[in-house]
Amino acid sequence: MVTKNKRLKLAALYTVAILGASFSIFPYLYMVLQSLAPWNEVDRRVIPTTLTLRSYEFLLTGGETGLPRPWFRAFFNSFVVTGVDTLAMLVVGAMVGYALARLPFRGARVVRSFLLFQMFYPSIILLIPTFLIIKYLGLYNTYMGMILPKAVNLWAIFMFSSFFASIDKELLEAARVDGASEWTVLVRVILPMSTTIATVVGLVLFMERWSELLWDLLVVKDQNLMTLNVLLATMKGPYGTYPGPLYAASVLLTLPIVITFLIFSKRFLSGFQFIFR
Amino acid sequence: MRKYYEVRGWLLTAPYIIYTLVFFVIPLFWAIALAGTDWNLVSPKRNFVGLDNFITAFQSPKVAAAFVNAFKFMVLFVPLTLAISLAIALLLNSLTVWGNIFTVAFFLPYLASGVAMALVTKGLIAVNSPANKLIVSLLGFQPPWLSHPWWATMVITALIAWKFSGYYALVFLAALRSIPREMYEAAALDGAGWWTQFRKITVPMLYPAFYTVIVLAVGLMFGIFTEPYVLTGGGPNLATHTWQLEIYSQAFASFKAGYASAVAILNALATFAGVAVVRWIITRWGRAYGYEE
């Protein structure tokens, strides 16, 4: 009787889990299906009767609107901006985090407390002056204008710093006693240990940078430089009557993050567990 | 050795220090200076106007709407998202197989770009869409979605809740998994039921996770931009107008850089105050469980 009760409970749990998971995934599925639907069926049927690539073709050519937009160029732009920024945020995060946690230089304490203050500071106040700085540096409407102000991430520094601080001191001492130089310790001991944290931090940064709208919207006005996110967000006017291509562009926008995440998901979940335990 | 640390330490920290100088310290003072002028972002002429911008902002219905709406979104979003994410975490924690697959599925919404999902939402609630028709047949009437202040607020709240619930659930799940099983076993031996165990063990042990999630969620409410930008433009009747929309439109559509800077400073103050009040409340709540900050 008890086992039967338990089985019923499990069945109920899995039913709820499947319903909830479907609710999470449904918008993605809907987006993909609509992007492949014939145009007279977009937003009219959940599952299209036939599949067509017309919407994607439209993105490439601009179709009959006479309004070709550089969608694939925008896809490339998103990759450049997000890739460079994520890499920079990771490298700087690890560098500064290592210095703050492991090199007891004079002033480290001050830097650390300033970092915390800065992290809780609402960054919106900096928006307009940052825009002006970028303009005066001659970086308005350039890749660098998008990349530079987001090349350092405070949260990444904080995460790396607390991770490096948690590494057992005796382990590092042991390596040093064995005659390893500071550099060898860093490359052979510390970096291999940080792959998990780097995966979690890197993925989160990648996702956030990829979805950034406000800054990229401000700093670029040339369509050929726009990220996919910006191009899509500014596409309300003439493209509003072409929902199919908008779904196709949404798929292009979403797919890279989802695939990247799925590849690293196992390590991400265990890393997340490690950070928030 | 001492000198070695000094040189290496400052050398490795240098990128952060330069960045902070250029993109934090200078903008911070610049913003305060700008807020006292009537500069229009392009003309070489600018006049010092003292506190005029702040006085205008205090009288502006748009700023008032942004201020009120942050709290409106907070009151709706925070309890809703806390309940959903906690439920997801409890659910995931009691699954025996495929736990990771479901965890990934629930986390997927967090990956969505706000722009893409706002467009999907637009499609789902379009008058002729199958999703809208289903809802109409369930409710018995056509919800006025984005044309009614409260419905528009709810649509945006739901969209953000959908995005963040799975992420917050992961924070709760990590905390749940670190609660020692023996605590529940001991409580069960004492005859404590599920609800008592939940109230006396789970909730107190999850307090640090609650703290993290609530502070994150509250901070988020002062920085809403993408969803109303794509869906409503702040309307109807300013019901979904937000701080960031106001700053963006004043500075970069009306070119009132000085005024927008003043609004941005007010936004920062409101965020500080909002987060501080909420932190004060949850810290007091934590004391009841013996947590000291």
Say whether pLDDT at B216 is over 90: no
So what's the pLDDT on residue A116?
84
Closest Cα in chain B to A203 = B111
Token pair for B266 = 């007010």
Q: Per residue in A52-89, pLDDT tens? A: 888 888 877 766 665 677 888 888 999 999 999 999 99
Best B1, B17, B19 residue to mutate vs chain A (most A CBs within 10 Å): B19
**Polymer length of chain B:** 293
Instruction: Find the CB nearest B129 among A43, A108, A261.
Output: A43
So what's the pLDDT on residue B18?
94
Q: Is the Cβ pair B8, A261 closer than 8 Å?
A: no
Task: Read off the pTM.
Answer: 0.85
- Mean pLDDT for chain B overall: 87
Q: How far apart are the CA of B186 and the nearest CA of chain A, in angstroms?
A: 21
Say whether pLDDT at B60 is over 90: no
Closest Cα in chain B to A11 = B95
Q: Which of A136-145, A157-166, B42-51 has the lowest mean pLDDT?
A: B42-51
Q: Per residue in B186-200, pLDDT tens? A: 888 888 888 888 888
SS3 state of residue B48: strand
Closest Cα in chain A to B118 = A233
Bridge partners of B124? Answer: none
Q: Which of A3-12, A74-83, A143-152, A164-173 has the lowest mean pLDDT?
A: A164-173
Say whether pLDDT at A238 is over 60: no
Q: pLDDT band at residue B293, thresholds of 50, 70 and 90?
A: low
Query: With contacts defined as CB-CB under 8 Å, which chain A residues touch B121?
Result: 27
Q: Is the Cβ pair A99, B9 closer than 8 Å?
A: yes
CA B85 centroid distance within chain = 14
Angle between helices A243-276 and A54-61 (to 10 degrees): 100
Share of chain A above pLDDT 70, in %: 95
So what's the pLDDT on residue B212?
87
Q: Per residue in B227-247, pLDDT tens? A: 888 888 877 888 889 888 888
Instruction: Find the CB nearest B15 among A34, A114, A152.
Output: A152
Q: Is the Cβ pair B123, A157 closer than 8 Å?
A: no
Token pair for B135 = 């809802």
Mean pLDDT for B38-63 is: 81
Best B7, B23, B90, B168 residue to mutate vs chain A (most A CBs within 10 Å): B23
- Cα–Cα distance measured from residue A272 to residue B10, given in angstroms and rounded to the nearest whole number: 30
Q: Where are the alpha helices (DSSP H) in chain B?
A: 2-20, 26-35, 52-59, 61-94, 99-107, 114-124, 130-139, 149-177, 181-189, 194-197, 203-205, 207-221, 226-231, 243-252, 257-288
Token pair for A41 = 């069926």
So what's the pLDDT on residue B38?
82
For chain A, counts of helices (H) and of strands (E): 14, 0
Q: Is the Cβ pair B104, A269 closer than 8 Å?
A: yes
So what's the pLDDT on residue A64?
64
So what's the pLDDT on residue A240?
64
Q: Is the Cβ pair A229, B225 closer than 8 Å?
A: no
Q: pLDDT band at residue A32, thresholds of 50, 70 and 90?
A: very high
Q: pLDDT band at residue A236, thresholds of 50, 70 and 90?
A: low
Closest Cα in chain A to B222 = A122
Instruction: Find the CB nearest B34 among A129, A273, A275.
Output: A129
Mean pLDDT for B243-263 is: 86
Share of chain B above pLDDT 90, in %: 25
Q: Is the Cβ pair B13, A111 closer than 8 Å?
A: yes
Say whether pLDDT at B251 is over 90: no
Mean pLDDT for A45-58 is: 83
Q: pLDDT band at residue B126, thresholds of 50, 70 and 90?
A: confident
The residue written with tokens 């469980």 in the block is B289
Q: How far apart are the CA of A48 and the nearest CA of chain B, in angstroms?
A: 12
Residue B273, C-beta contacts closer than 8 angstroms, at least 6 positions apart: none
Say whether pLDDT at B81 is over 90: yes
Quote the Cα angle for A162-A209-B89, to 5°.
Answer: 60
B21 or A40, which is more confident: B21
Q: Which of A150-154, A265-269, B127-131, B245-249 has the lowest mean pLDDT?
A: B127-131
Query: With contacts defined as CB-CB under 8 Å, which chain A residues touch B100?
Result: 265-266, 269
Instruction: Find the CB nearest A149 among B16, B23, B100.
Output: B23
- Cα–Cα distance measured from residue B3 to residue B11, given in angstroms and rounded to the nearest whole number: 12
Q: pLDDT band at residue B79, thresholds of 50, 70 and 90?
A: very high
Q: Is the Cβ pair A126, B100 closer than 8 Å?
A: no
Which range, A26-30, B92-96, B133-137, has the best average confidence (pLDDT)? A26-30
Query: With contacts defined as CB-CB under 8 Å, which chain A residues touch B222?
Result: 122
Mean pLDDT for A210-228 is: 89
Query: With contacts defined as CB-CB under 8 Å, which chain A residues touch B114?
Result: 211, 213
So what's the pLDDT on residue A239?
61
Q: How far apart are the CA of A61 and the nearest CA of chain B, in angstroms?
A: 21
Q: Is the Cβ pair A213, B226 closer than 8 Å?
A: yes
Q: pLDDT band at residue B56, thresholds of 50, 70 and 90?
A: confident
The residue written with tokens 């103050």 in the block is B269
Residue B268, C-beta contacts closer than 8 angstroms, at least 6 positions apart: A121, A122, A124, A125
Mean pLDDT for B96-124 is: 88
Q: Is the Cβ pair B23, A92 closer than 8 Å?
A: no
Q: pLDDT band at residue A237, thresholds of 50, 70 and 90?
A: low
Residue type, position B187, single letter: A
The residue written with tokens 């900050």 in the block is B293
